[in-house]
Structure 1
């Protein structure tokens, strides 16, 4: 090898050493450069979510609708006013002959005019139907309120988990973007060296493959971040804006795990779907009581005044009417309500089993990530960061070759990514336990 070639190769490796010694991981996630950025914390997002979310607003309307139904159930039936007269008298050819007949006609009992009848009726609900209707409507409102709480619980969990995924995916994206910059610089340097015969062509190809791997990772995380942005925009009712929601911080607290029995008791006590299954039983019981009361027919009372059309000139009559419960005693509706009550009881038992299973599942996941997080050796994160520093120093000193250097850099990248994923998984499992118990343990 000539003195000139040797000098070029030495200069090339010195250049590589200066190029690869760059910072490896940004601490603060950064948005796409072209997007308008809204820096938001999780409490700020939650406040906007409570004020703007379409599903919550719609569910609040359901509560108001159920409240209006209570008012309607408490209203008594309207009285019925009935009026009748003669439209056309063929004997006299008169239309609406309401004129009082002459005294001669009265004496001869001929009534070609003056006839009308007025009837006023009122339905009286018997067997406590109105109070039972009100009680059933109140139960329906309770169901709507519990449904609102359950929707709120689910959407808040979605908000928290999406925010965390976005926060940690941005960290991973920054990691791969910085690694791509390093890799592209290294690849370009090797292309220059290849032209002078300093490196073999396969080494350049190997670096290009590594570059493509990084670009693929960046594309995958960019796609995930786009999905998370879309989810947050829907949750916050910001679908018409292209502003990038940038999470500012996410605290990582690792307090002691609650007792599993305490978690189960909290879930059975606090989860709205548990209360919903119990309220469905109450609703079915009130529905059954209402259907049984309907076996008793309602009473229709009335007063009738009739002029020139009954036993005497001015007739006032009392009216009472009631259906006779001979064949229809509401048997089918009562049986249906009884079966609905039995079904609600089974549904409550099933829901309690689901809740206990949810808590145990979430608890096991959280316990696993707690163990993984707490088992990290002292100084582990510092040693991760030192991998890239030591690899760069060794490569610059020609202690290791290119393949060893790339292997160490891949180890560094995977270790950083594992740390990001562990923090995300730990936060997600904490939120899952809070979600399945509807209790803020974390």
Structure 2
């Protein structure tokens, strides 16, 4: 019985180990294929930074509720404990109570409500500006990974071909058919490619990590972006006038709206600081059972401070300074927006013209050429140096073309970012 029990435990542990290992292998090799639209949907649903910023909007809305509330009335009650005067009976028979209510003046409550509402708008502007920034990062990462993976496939192809050639060359060298320098030349080229590929893959892994954080996917997942090149040979940047982009930036840039709202906030705050110089007052009602003026005394009163010394001079001066400062910040932000649009528009036009100057058939023709080069080398129709030179030229040109495509797409995303408008979203 004991042996059977031990056997069952061993089998369960073995099954758990196998299942865990299989699960780990599955997780390690899990690949997620995404289009840019799917990536954006995951980002909007899962991004933690956006969720945190949404809570700031909720907090700002709660401050509006607080600003709408009226001050609570004050109530006081006192009861006699001891008295030397025994003519009126025991001291505990004397008690008094009162109630008072504070009333704000000069529209302070309404002004506080206005400030709270502007704070809600500012929280929303901050949220949408964060959304604009993170979406720009997301799209840049997506296309960076896509084109770098295209470059990585070139390295994989060349490394695979050279590895096969090296195996053949080592066999031929062992038979004495070729010189050792040919084997060493291929080995050297292979090691160089492997080192370059490793550096490229490290860069891909870094961008993958950032993209995974943005869309909140497991760290073991390998993301494979699925993209197409709809901009092939199209003059899409030139089709949108510069002034249209600049006007759109003035309307849709939320950091600019935030700077404008800061001016509005400080203007209302100045009104509030001036209103603060006007004293608030409180009305009170008091009752004293055995009062100084007779029994069951009922009295009413009013109280307020006399603004002889403190008329909030400092607060008013600070509010005026804040208005001037926020106006300068707004002008600085407008200049920054205009500079962003102008520089990025020129850069995007330059990249578009450069990319469109390339022959669309160049890439396919070059791919066909390198396949024929490899066949001719296997037939010994070309020398080793010619073979390696063709391969190096193929690799360099393909990588440059991928980099140019990435730079062009990135320039379009940059224009979307600086204008706050998805002019060129695919």
Global fold match (TM > 0.5): yes
The answer to whether the aligner puts 1:375 opposite 2:357 as a matched pair is yes
Q: Is the 8 A contact 2:27 2:220 kept in 1?
A: no
Match of 1:143 in 2: 122
Question: Residue in 2 aligned with 1:283?
Answer: 265
1:68, CA displacement in angstroms?
A: 0.6
1:43 to 37, 48, 52: 37
How far is 1:237 from its partner?
A: 2.3
Decide which of 64, 86, 98 is 1:70's aligned counterpart: 64
Asked if 1:426 is matched to 2:420, the reply is no
**Count of residue correspondences:** 395
The question of whether the paired residues in 2 share the 8 Å contact of 1:384 and 1:415 is answered with no
Query: How far did 1:194 drift?
Result: 2.0
Tell me, in whole angstroms, the C-alpha distance in 2 between the residues paired with 1:33 and 1:135.
53
Distance 1:213 1:33 in 2: 31
1:222 aligns to 2:204 (yes or no):
no
Partner in structure 1 of residue 154 of structure 2: 175
Query: How far did residue 44 of structure 1 move?
Result: 1.2
Partners of 1:171 and 1:382 in 2: how far apart? 14
Deviation at 1:146, TM superposition (A): 0.2
Match of 2:177 in 1: 198
Q: CA distance change for structure 1 residues 333 and 33 in 2, over 3 Å: closer, same or farther?
A: closer
Greater gyration radius:
1
Does residue 362 of the first structure (1) align with residue 344 of the second (2)?
yes
Instruction: Verify the 8 A CA contact 1:284 1:340 in the aligned structure 2.
Output: yes
What secondary structure is seen at the aligned counterpart in 2 of 1:138? helix
Matching residue of 1:157: 136
* Matched ranges for 1:6-155 at <5 A: 34-86=28-80, 88-89=81-82, 91=84, 108-109=87-88, 112-155=91-134
Whether contact under 8 Å (1:296, 1:325) holds in the other structure is yes
SS of match in other structure, 2:96: strand
Give per-residue Cα distances to partners, 1:26-56, cap 9 Å, x unaligned.
Answer: xxxxxx9951112222111111111111110
How much does 1:309 deviate? 2.4
Q: Hey, which of these two has a bigger chunk of helix by percent?
A: 2
Instruction: After superposition, give the CA deviation of every residue in 1:113-165 in whole Å (9 maximum; x if it has no partner).
Output: 41111110000000000000000000111100000000000011111111111
Query: 3-state DSSP class of the match of 2:91?
Result: coil
Deviation per CA, 1:286-332, whole angstroms, max 9, x where unpaired?
11111111000101111111110221111111111111111111111
For residue 220 of structure 2, give the secondary structure of its aligned residue in structure 1: coil
Matched with 1:12 is none
Q: Tell whether the 8 Å contact from 1:125 to 1:298 is kept in structure 2 after alignment.
A: yes
Pairwise CA distance, 1:396:
4.3
Contact 2:29 2:222 in 1 (8 A): yes
Q: Deviations over 1:84-125 (max 9, x none)?
A: 112x32659xxxxxxxxxxxx7xx555634111111000000
Equivalents in 2 of 1:213, 1:252: separation in Å? 34
Match of 1:256 in 2: 236
Question: Within 2, Cα distance between the matches of 1:132 and 1:358?
Answer: 36
Residue 373 (structure 1) shift? 1.0
Aligned Cα root-mean-square deviation (Å) = 1.9
Instruction: State the distance in 2 between where 1:241 and 1:412 align.
Output: 34
**Structure 1 stretches lacking a partner, 5+ long:** 1-31, 93-104
Q: Normalization by structure 2: what TM-score?
A: 0.88
Structure 2 residue matching 1:83: 3-state secondary structure: strand
Check the 8 A contact 1:80/1:121 in 2, yes or no. yes
Q: Secondary structure at the match of 1:325?
A: coil
1:148–1:425 distance in 2 versus 1, CA, 3 Å: same
Task: From 301, 304, 319, give the equivalent of 1:322.
Answer: 304
Query: Counterparts of 2:292 and 2:384 in 1: how far apart (Å)?
Result: 118
The structural deviation recorded for 1:269 is 1.1
Give the Cα separation in 1 of the matches to 2:73 and 2:27.
71
- Give the direction of change, closer, same or farther, for the CA distance of 1:43–1:306 in structure 2 (3 Å limit): same
Distance 1:263 1:91 in 2: 88
TM-score after normalising by structure 1 = 0.85
Conserved 8 A contact 1:252-1:427: no
Change in 2 beyond 3 A, CA 1:397/1:111: closer
